[in-house]
Amino acid sequence: MDDSIATQVANAWHELVEDEELRSVYGDLGVSLRTSLPDAIDAIAAVVVDGRPSVLALVGDGLFVAAFAKVGDGDRLRVVTERIPLSPTPTMQIHDGWRPDSSKGPFRASGERARHWTVTWVDGRVIAFESIIGRAGGFHPEADAAERFGRVLAAQLGWQIP
């Protein structure tokens, strides 16, 4: 994978991270992306999957998921990259809504309009993430990286989202 794209995605991932232990090893993510993903990537984005800051990359007929996990020797966090085939074709569900703002109470919106993406494979595997598609008072000049990624993935699965 191209160095500048890997660095850009790792920096976007770093913005999602609140855990100090993860923040301290984020440099490993850029190295892992450069050495484990191919150069020809259809779409890529830093997103939160199952509560974990992750990177999703779409390459042809496969979805790559990269995230930190404690594996192998000791408790050291390592980047684990997995390729999930898109065949048989998984199902996709999306729904839009206002993102809640915890500082305003449980039923108040933050002013960000979010899209929730859920992809489910025949074997029960689920990848779910969120994108921001607009803000109160207007829309982003362009979709965020997660939204762009979701649209490319949807198109790959046969769903053209307007």
Residues 76 and 104 grouped into a single domain? no
Q: Which of 85, 105, 120 is the last residue of a domain?
A: 85
Does residue 80 lie within any of the structural domains?
yes
Residues 11 and 76 grouped into a single domain? yes
Does residue 162 lie within any of the structural domains?
no
Residues 76 and 121 grouped into a single domain? no
Residues 142 and 76 grouped into a single domain? no
| Pick from 111, 160, 152, 104: nearest CA to 133 | 111
Residues 75 and 96 grouped into a single domain? no
Q: Which of 36, 55, 85 is the last residue of a domain?
A: 85
Q: Which of 85, 120, 135 is the last residue of a domain?
A: 85
Residues 68 and 97 grouped into a single domain? no
Number of structural domains (the chain) is: 2
Q: Output the pLDDT for position 132.
A: 84
Q: Output the pLDDT for position 77.
A: 87
Tokens for 79, please give them: 């980047």
Range of the domain at 103: 91-156
Residues 79 and 104 grouped into a single domain? no
Tokens for 114, please give them: 């979010």
Per-residue pLDDT for the chain (162 aa), expressed as one digit of tens each? 888 999 999 989 888 888 888 888 888 999 999 999 999 999 999 999 988 899 999 999 999 999 998 887 777 888 999 999 999 999 999 999 877 665 555 545 556 778 999 999 999 999 999 998 876 655 545 578 999 999 999 999 999 988
Does residue 161 lie within any of the structural domains?
no
Three-state secondary structure readout of the chain: CCHHHHHHHHHHHHHHCCCHHHHHCCHHHHHHHHHHCCCCCCEEEEEEECCEEEEEEEECCEEEEEEEEECCCCCCEEEEEEEEECCCCCEEEEEEEEEECHHHCCCCEEEEEEEEEEEECCCCCEEEEEEEEEECCECCCCCCHHHHHHHHHHHHCCCCCC
Q: Output the pLDDT for position 101.
A: 63
Contact assessment for residue 129 and residue 145, using Cβ atoms and an 8 Å cutoff:
no
Instruction: Region of 40 please: left (phi>0), alpha (psi -120 to 50) or beta.
Output: beta
Q: Output the pLDDT for position 70.
A: 84
